[in-house]
Amino acid sequence: MMLYVLIAAGTVGLAAFVRTVPEWAGSNGTAVPERGISRRQAWNALCLCTIFLVLFAVSACRLNVGNDYAKYVEFMHLIACDAYSYVPTEAGFNLLVAVLYRLAGGENFLLVFAVFAFFTLALFLLALYGQSDSFGWSFFLFMAFGFYFSTFNTVRYYLALALALYAVKYVLKGEWGKFLFFVLLGSAFHKSMLVVIPLYFLATLAWKKWQFVLMALFCTTFFYMQDFYLKAVVFLYPSYEDTEYLEGGISWFNILRCAGVLVFSLLYYKQAVAGSKRNRFYFFCNLGALVLYTCCSFLPIITRIGYYLNMTQILFIPAVLAKIGDRRQKRFWSVAVALAASGYFVLYLMRAGNDGIRVLPYQTFMFHDMVPILSDVN
């Protein structure tokens, strides 16, 4: 646990020195391009590279860390044996594993995990650097909410999640072709990413009262059509049938986090949200996640669907803070957010060794034995 605290503290400290102008900034907030690389850009690059290398090294060197680690090793072994009928993973993952194993000259699951870590972390950092009002704040929330350490677990899903966050900028710019490209790319590794097409589109709408009423009526179907939705999940994920993955459950941590962000944003709605297309999008993403967590707790994959929405909190919270004009209020809420996020991080670490998460204790291939192959297929 102490290792994770030190990693978080060290990288957050470096992130505080990064200064950026987000890509969404208009003419008033966009700096005039300079020839060559400025001192600020060089310092940003140094900090970002150091952060990336630290996070990548810890992730790439892990062994049997994460609830699904052994299952992934098993799936990779089956792919290497051409036993695809036993592999429930998507075609993109299967192809990547086959190519990497061919290049490595044999089964090397550590290489696969390292490649996933590389691209997942790169996409997350690029998304924060290019889209956040404050990279330091967004990165702090990224670490405090446990997103980084959760990448040790469901590697396919977190690659899709990173692609979704990176693609948000194309939604806000109305560049739907580029957005769909990243969605289709992500769905090749985790088909759940396809849900962001309707969800992100709905979040871009300027909602009217009758639309809220219509959506509320639709949400009531989650209470009397549960069997239908569960069958739909089994249809999309046949491997979930008759397993623990079909067990739902109320995600209180996510509900409380979404509710807290909702209350905070409502306090400054006119000041920070109403006049900003970008912040309205984040607002409705957070609201949508809260609705899903409260109305669809019976669905086994609702947490994963919700994360496509509430991941934007790490961009939304700094955006609201930046719009608070009163210095005292801004200082108060900055301290409040820092304390709340730190408390959340402590709670996350306390649960990090539990079944279903299991990102603690940390182990590395340099000091521990390899994971045994479970399958009899050769």
Nearest to 294 by CA among 350, 349, 223: 223
How far is Cα 283 from Cα 91, in angstroms, rounded to an integer?
34
How far is Cα 68 from Cα 66, in angstroms, rounded to an integer?
6
Q: What is the largest CA-CA distance in the chain?
A: 67
- pTM of this prediction? 0.91
Distance set, CA 156 to CA 92, 100, 194, 214 (Å): 10, 15, 14, 34
Query: 10 Å Cβ neighbour count for 373?
Result: 18
How far is Cα 272 from Cα 209, in angstroms, rounded to an integer?
21
- Six-digit token string for 135: 């990279």
How far is Cα 76 from Cα 81, in angstroms, rounded to an integer?
9
How far is Cα 74 from Cα 145, in angstroms, rounded to an integer?
29
Query: In a 10 Å sphere around its CB, with 0-12 CB exposed, 13-18 middle and 19+ buried, how is residue 277 labelled?
Result: exposed
Query: 10 Å Cβ neighbour count for 365?
Result: 16
- Six-digit token string for 355: 């079944």
Are 293 and 302 in contact by the 8 Å Cβ rule? The answer is yes
Are 188 and 91 in contact by the 8 Å Cβ rule? The answer is yes
Q: Quick one: pLDDT at residue 253? A: 87
Are 144 and 345 in contact by the 8 Å Cβ rule? The answer is yes
How far is Cα 94 from Cα 171, in angstroms, rounded to an integer?
29
Distance set, CA 103 to CA 6, 96, 120, 293 (Å): 35, 11, 21, 42
Q: Quick one: pLDDT at residue 39? A: 84
Beta bridge partners of 62: 364
How far is Cα 35 from Cα 337, in angstroms, rounded to an integer?
38
- Six-digit token string for 377: 């297929």
pLDDT tens, the chain, 378 aa long = 899 999 999 999 999 999 876 665 654 444 445 566 788 889 999 999 999 999 999 999 999 998 889 889 999 999 988 887 678 889 999 999 999 999 999 899 999 999 999 999 999 999 999 999 999 999 999 999 999 999 998 899 999 999 999 999 999 999 999 999 999 999 999 999 999 999 999 999 888 888 888 888 887 877 777 777 777 777 776 666 655 555 656 778 899 999 999 999 999 999 999 989 999 999 999 999 999 888 887 776 788 889 999 999 999 999 999 999 999 999 999 999 999 999 999 999 999 988 778 899 999 988 877 666 655 555
Provide φ and ψ at 240, rounded to 5°. Answer: -80, -15
**Helix (H) and strand (E) counts for the chain?**
18, 0
